[in-house]
Amino acid sequence: MIKTLLSAARAAAVMSLLGPAAAPAQPAPPPGAPPAAASSAAPGTAPDPAEPKPFDKVITAEAKTQAGLFRVHTLKNRVYFEIPKALLDQPLLMVATAAAVPAGIDHVGRSLNEEVVRFTMKGNRVYFQTVSHAYISDPGQPIAGAVRGSQRDAILASFNVEALGPGEAPVIEVTRLFAAEVGDFSARQAVRGTALDPMRSYVEQARAFPGSLRVDAVHTYSVMASPALLIPGLVLPPAAPRSATVSVAYNLVKLPERPMMPRLMDDRVGFFSVARVDFGSEEHESKREHLITRWRLEKKDPSLPVSEPVRPVVWYIDSATPAHLVPWVKKGVEAWNPAFEAAGFRNAIQARPYPSKDEDPEFDPQDVRYSIIRWVPSLVANAYGPSLTDPRSGEILNANIVMYHNIMRLLRDWYVTQAGAADPSARQLPLPDELMGELVAYVVTHEVGHSLGYPHNHKASSLYPTAKLRDAQWLKEMGHVPTLMDYSRLNYVVQPEDRIDPALLIPRLGPYDIFATRWGYTPIPQARAPEEERATLNRWVREQDDKPWLRFSSPKAEDADYGEVREAVGDADAVLATTWGVANLKRIVKQLPDMARKDGRDDRTLEELYRATLGQWAREMSHVTALVGGYDTRNKHNDQPGATFAAADRQAQARAVKFLAEQVLATPQWLLDPAIAERLRPSEPGNLLLAQQRTVLRALLERGRTARLQAQEAALGDKAYRVDELLADLRSGVFGELSSGARVAPPRRNLQRAYVELLAERLNGPGLPGDDAKAAIRSELKELKTLFSSRAAAARDRVQKSHLEALADSSAKALDPKVAEPASPLFPFFPRALVDELQCWPSD
């Protein structure tokens, strides 16, 4: 995201580091570095720079010169910019990217920061400063001059003009600009560094390209290790600081001379955006507006309904990509073309391999003019699609998609655990190459969507009828999810008896993707300004009225919309969808022992797939949990009547809690299948299960959820599902044996202890204003204490009696804060999350 003004304090700190009047006691320069310029200026005043030297005295015959945006001269280990006078005071986009990082850090290819900057010349000095476009006004308005004058751009560095080149172009030495941290252009956070070491940091190379420059630097940080754990009776000294070295690529890009006409954002359609404040609005206030981010697409023939673009959006496929996956990467990129045809552009989205020198002598993957799909060797199982944007208009200038090699392991786990019951080819490892290719193409299409301007949309999928997701005809026409920009993965609700073509289990371009592309990219030729498009865009949005699956997340949802959960399929009825999902997971667990490789190696594959299966089960349960205290939200603008949210039905919430009691709180023995459990660590299945049970209980009791239940009761009265009803339903699910007289098995004893601990934590922990839930929890603990005491008195079994007495004692302590034990008496210095992890281990 483009930053606005830097603080004066930060700018001063940067100037102190980079300016000619640097503070004394600087470390000695590395061997071969130029001597620092001495300054005799009085404290607090800028030194008087010397007159520029003759050009050939500064840029000698030994210098290597490259032509590009600026002329770049490299002389030994020094880098000089020769800035054409025409480019002084012109906006440039500066981007810092982590090009290489220490092993195990997930920041390869990530943008560290981007800001609009400029070089401006005053006398014999050039200043490097940020440029803000946060405030605007119509140039014809009286306030326009005040708006311009009110924004003081931060100066990040200053340079003596060493010489003047042809056309009086100032020549400045920029080595120190890139060998040090400049403003927010820093990799410090990426490696959790504490300080940049200038003795181990340097400029590696500088490249000039038409329209851009690139400088590669090596930055080395001291990294403080984690502090020592404070365990009673054991003193561990902190680990010594270590080092981390990062390769940082700085790109300076010329912004378009003619900014693209912006398109105003409508939050009913999902687009990334840039923000600005218009002080020239005719409304009775300054107007904050957002511009969607999108590529500049213009028709070659504007008279045609569908035309080739003047300039297509092209991604080049990294030569490091495994050869057998290159066609699938290309397929994944170009899958977006049907959506752009609907917007009036044919062959707008293209993927190409790196061209040869004969095909394109100027091509260089380091040139920011080219968008690349990079294949990164990393153990991280991920992919992402960042982009560079002109903040004046929202125009996307470049987008480098990063595919981590280990994404294939994640795709394997998804497919086995979500499609393994419906597709026989998922029951043997490794997965077929063609299937893995289709999965890679799916991920590429998703990441290209981000690079086209689209954020995630988790709402639309909840508006498909759940029953239709097992209907072959529906899946052929509509897919199982209306957008690739959701985190819905494979169709896990399809049952084996449905005999669905496995190709229909993988997400593809959906109706929302086409709708959003039409809305954001279709030209409106009659409009000459963004405001003139508003009526047309509003009319297009109203297609959502008749097709609810074209809707986008609401900004008023406050994380309470049960239809905006992640990784969900069929969440229009989460209980029904999860019922089908669990039926498939039970089948998959039975398949895992035969799927694991028999190659004489360890059981790692079996362990990974088992944990992935349990993780899939946990995610599906979280979709049901979201119903409790949840709302269905719809984003409406002021010309659309009706409420913007509705509470989940009382019966639906009670049904969800009953389902969770049956599927999570009642020990799911199928997850403890002996054929798998006997191959794992002895305690692992039980520990993982208890951890998930605690997660569900904690989620049901968390303050935000009980506050929403209270709000629903205030609005709906007897039609609402109340906190006391939730507690009563949980009591039945957790302590059912106390009513039936059945013996409490060890896994259930652990669950019951965990539940009482969570009630105590919730009662004595922080609350929200007007938190009625605490009163209900106190009442529940009192009743539970009485129940535990009476059942303990009647118990004949010694273990059962001890267990019930312990529960009664814990309840009593929770009810009296003066004697209540701290949450982690043995480890008072541990973070809460770590204590939870330790406590999930059974004690029986």
Q: How confident is the model at residue 281 (pLDDT cuts 50, 70, 90)?
A: low
Q: What is the pLDDT of residues 613-627, one digit of tens each?
A: 999 999 999 999 999
- Which of the listed residues 221, 254, 287 is the one where a domain comes to its end? 254
Task: Find the range with the poorest average confidence among 156-170, 512-526, 806-820.
Answer: 806-820
Q: How confident is the model at residue 226 (pLDDT cuts 50, 70, 90)?
A: low
Q: What is the pLDDT of residues 377-391, one digit of tens each?
A: 877 788 888 788 998
Residue type, 327: P
CA angle 445, 447, 449 (to 5 degrees): 70
What tokens appear for 433 in the block?
Answer: 């190459």
Task: Find the range with the poorest average confidence among 316-330, 435-449, 533-547, 597-611.
Answer: 597-611
Q: How confident is the model at residue 578 (pLDDT cuts 50, 70, 90)?
A: very high
Q: Strand pairing partners for 219?
A: 246
Which pLDDT value is given to residue 388?
87
Q: How confident is the model at residue 767 (pLDDT cuts 50, 70, 90)?
A: confident
Quote the number of domains for the chain: 2
pLDDT tops 50 at residue 822: no
Torsion angle, CA of 424/426/428/433, rounded to 10 degrees? 110
- Which of the listed residues 235, 254, 273 is the one where a domain comes to its end? 254
Residue 190 is assigned to a structural domain of this protein:
yes
Q: How confident is the model at residue 772 (pLDDT cuts 50, 70, 90)?
A: confident
Average pLDDT, stretch 798-825?
81
- Which of the pair, 139 or 6, is modelled with greater confidence? 139
- Of the candidates 706, 816, 725, the residue with the CA atom closest to the CA atom of residue 768: 706
Q: How confident is the model at residue 407 (pLDDT cuts 50, 70, 90)?
A: very high
Question: Exposed, middle or buried, 44 (CB in 10 Å: 0-12/13-18/19+)?
Answer: exposed
Distance of alpha carbon 332 from alpha carbon 487, whole angstroms = 17
Residue 587 is assigned to a structural domain of this protein:
no
796: Cβ contacts below 8 Å, ≥ 6 apart: none
Which pLDDT value is given to residue 13?
36
309: Cβ contacts below 8 Å, ≥ 6 apart: 297, 298, 299, 300, 345, 347, 348
Q: What is the pLDDT of residues 649-667, one digit of tens each?
A: 999 999 999 999 999 999 9
Residue 341 is assigned to a structural domain of this protein:
no
Distance of alpha carbon 113 from alpha carbon 219, whole angstroms = 15
Give first-to-last CA distance, the chain, whole Å: 52
Average pLDDT, stretch 676-702?
92
Which pLDDT value is given to residue 240?
52
- The answer to whether residues 46 and 21 touch, using CB atoms and an 8 Å cutoff, is yes
Residue 555 is assigned to a structural domain of this protein:
no
Which pLDDT value is given to residue 662?
97
Query: What's the DSSP call for residue 100?
Result: E
Provide the sign of the torsion angle of the four alpha carbons 267, 270, 274, 280, taken in this order.
negative
Residue 245 is assigned to a structural domain of this protein:
yes
Other CB atoms within 10 A of residue 491 CB? 24
Which pLDDT value is given to residue 791?
94
Task: Find the range with the poorest average confidence among 239-253, 264-278, 442-456, 615-629.
Answer: 239-253
Q: What is the strand order of the sheet 401-404 is part of?
A: 349-353, 313-317, 371-376, 401-404, 383-384
pLDDT tops 70 at residue 141: no
Residue 549 is assigned to a structural domain of this protein:
no
Bridge-based pairing of strands 78-82 and 169-173 is antiparallel
Which pLDDT value is given to residue 365?
87
3-class secondary-structure state, position 214 = strand
Average pLDDT, stretch 107-114?
76
Beta strands in 527-610 (DSSP E): none
- Which of the pair, 48 or 474, is modelled with greater confidence? 474
Which pLDDT value is given to residue 350?
98
Range of the domain at 767: 649-844
pLDDT tops 70 at residue 354: yes
Distance of alpha carbon 190 from alpha carbon 105, whole angstroms = 8
- Of the candidates 460, 497, 496, the residue with the CA atom closest to the CA atom of residue 479: 460
What tokens appear for 207 in the block?
Answer: 């490249």
**Helix (H) or strand (E) segment spanning residue 693:** helix 684-701
Task: Find the range with the poorest average confidence among 91-100, 167-176, 607-616, 699-708.
Answer: 91-100
Other CB atoms within 10 A of residue 466 CB? 18
Distance of alpha carbon 723 from alpha carbon 773, whole angstroms = 6
Question: Exposed, middle or buried, 783 (CB in 10 Å: 0-12/13-18/19+)?
Answer: middle
Length of the chain: 844
Question: Exposed, middle or buried, 264 (CB in 10 Å: 0-12/13-18/19+)?
Answer: middle
Other CB atoms within 10 A of residue 600 CB? 5
Residue 532 is assigned to a structural domain of this protein:
no
pLDDT tops 70 at residue 826: no
Averaged pLDDT score across all residues of the chain: 86
Cis bond leading into 842, ω under 30°?
no
How would you label 241-256 residue by residue, b for 16+ Cβ within 10 Å and e otherwise? eeebbbbbbbbbbbbe
Provide the sign of the torsion angle of the four alpha carbons 768, 772, 778, 780, taken in this order.
negative
3-class secondary-structure state, position 376 = strand
Average pLDDT, stretch 409-425?
95
- Of the candidates 357, 355, 358, 336, the residue with the CA atom closest to the CA atom of residue 347: 336
Distance of alpha carbon 24 from alpha carbon 560, whole angstroms = 56
Q: What is the pLDDT of residues 64-87, one digit of tens each?
A: 999 999 999 999 889 999 999 999
Distance of alpha carbon 185 from alpha carbon 169, whole angstroms = 26
Other CB atoms within 10 A of residue 416 CB? 25
3-class secondary-structure state, position 371 = strand
Cis bond leading into 377, ω under 30°?
no
3-class secondary-structure state, position 837 = helix
Which pLDDT value is given to residue 7?
38
Which pLDDT value is given to residue 133?
62
301: Cβ contacts below 8 Å, ≥ 6 apart: 307, 308
The alpha carbon of 170 is separated from its chain's Cα centroid by a whole number of angstroms, namely 42
- Which of the listed residues 188, 219, 254 is the one where a domain comes to its end? 254
pLDDT tops 50 at residue 785: yes
Q: What is the strand order of the sheet 169-173 is part of?
A: 64-66, 71-75, 78-82, 169-173, 163-165
Q: How confident is the model at residue 106 (pLDDT cuts 50, 70, 90)?
A: low
Q: How confident is the model at residue 17 (pLDDT cuts 50, 70, 90)?
A: very low
pLDDT tops 60 at residue 22: no
pLDDT tops 70 at residue 552: yes
pLDDT tops 70 at residue 229: no
Kindly give the interhelix angle for 746-764 and 798-815, rounded to the nearest 10 degrees.
10
Residue 706 is assigned to a structural domain of this protein:
yes
Residue type, 703: R
- Of the candidates 772, 767, 755, the residue with the CA atom closest to the CA atom of residue 839: 755
- Which of the pair, 407 or 15, is modelled with greater confidence? 407
Instruction: Assign 3-class secondary structure to 647-658.
Output: ECCHHHHHHHHH
